[in-house]
């Protein structure tokens, strides 16, 4: 296989083809070179340098403290793995308040090695999305619970799509995002039986997180999947490994042996 097969356009086209034939899309987060390389070798379809790094890497309480400089730094690290998956980077909080600001910061992430950027929001950020797409940059959308708005939500995550009015807004935003040219849409913490309706309403893939099994794919924070952040595990995750606890124990065993041999 040659590198020209892994252009952003080809990878986005591949995702749409996967939806059409009913093949699930696997997406995981990665924030550094070794994890990006390992997950790409495993065959992941999308690698997301997520602003979730604020909690699982930088120690912030939520994503709102993550800066564009943080995202550029970690995107550059993941890009050095030269993954064959679609390497996507989150646009952090307040980095796309205006179309011009959105384009400037999206270009920074692309220069750092991202092949696409992800933005939270629906119809209200269409001007930003259209400006970025007009520059030839691939965009992934994000609807439902928006972590960058966690403070506006009272610091708690809430299931979206329970009420009819909210469901109509989500459908309208999904259709509008597709029309604006986004490559796929992450659906976070949306009422499970409603995600099916969203997925069937658009031709681009939906990537679910805590939104049930009927999206075209699923995305997880890698630390949640492998138990690398043992101080907090989301309710919808059952870690398949305990790397955090194992690392702590390995270090404790080494320390004990070292001190016994003084």
> Could you tell me which residues come within 8 angstroms of residue 117 by beta carbon, excluding any fewer than 6 positions away?
88, 89, 90, 91, 106, 109, 110, 132, 137, 138, 139, 140
Q: State the catalytic residues.
A: 188
pLDDT of residue 155: 87
Does 69 score more than 90 pLDDT?
A: yes
Q: Would you state the CATH architecture of domain 3-225?
A: Alpha-Beta Barrel (3.20)
Q: Dump the DSSP string for 145-162.
A: S-GGGTTTTTT----B--
User: Are 32 and 74 in contact, with CB atoms under 8 Å apart?
Assistant: yes
Write out the two tokens for 214: 């009927």
pLDDT at 1: 38
Q: Can you give the pLDDT at residue 225?
A: 98
Q: What is the mean pLDDT of residues 15-23?
A: 98
Residues 6+ apart with CB under 8 A from 221: 28, 29, 50, 52, 56
pTM of the predicted model as reported, rounded to 2 decimal places? 0.96
Q: Where are the alpha helices (DSSP H) in 82-239?
A: 99-111, 126-134, 164-180, 192-201, 222-225
Mean pLDDT of the chain: 96
Among 85-89, 178-182, 209-213, 233-237, whose mean pLDDT is lowest? 233-237
Confidence of residue 68 (pLDDT cuts 50, 70, 90): very high
User: 89 — phi, psi (to 5°)?
Assistant: -125, 140
Asked whether 14 and 183 are in contact (CB, 8 A), the reply is no
């Amino acid at each position: 296989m040659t590198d020209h097969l892994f252009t952003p356009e080809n990878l986005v086209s591949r995702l749409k083809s996967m939806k059409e034939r009913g093949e699930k899309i696997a997406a995981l987060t990665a924030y550094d070179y070794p994890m990006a390389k390992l997950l790409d070798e495993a065959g992941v379809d999308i690698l997301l340098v997520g602003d979730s790094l604020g909690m699982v890497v930088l120690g912030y309480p939520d994503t709102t403290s993550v800066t564009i400089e943080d995202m550029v730094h970690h995107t550059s690290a993941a890009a050095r793995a030269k993954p064959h998956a679609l390497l996507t980077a989150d646009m952090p909080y307040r980095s796309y308040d205006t179309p011009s600001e959105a384009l400037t910061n999206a270009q920074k992430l692309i220069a750092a090695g991202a092949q696409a950027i992800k933005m939270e929001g629906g119809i209200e950020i269409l001007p930003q999305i259209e400006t970025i797409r007009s520059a030839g940059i691939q965009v992934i959308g994000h609807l439902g619970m928006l972590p960058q708005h966690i403070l506006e939500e009272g610091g708690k995550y809430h299931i979206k799509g329970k009420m009819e009015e909210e469901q109509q807004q989500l459908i309208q935003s999904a259709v509008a995002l597709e029309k604006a040219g986004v490559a796929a849409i992450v659906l976070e913490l949306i009422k499970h039986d409603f995600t099916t309706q969203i997925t069937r309403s658009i031709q681009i893939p939906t990537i679910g997180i805590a939104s049930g099994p009927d999206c075209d794919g699923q995305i997880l924070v890698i630390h949640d999947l492998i138990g690398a952040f043992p101080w907090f595990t989301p309710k919808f995750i059952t870690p398949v490994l305990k790397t955090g606890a194992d690392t702590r124990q390995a270090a404790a065993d080494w320390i004990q042996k070292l001190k016994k041999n003084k």
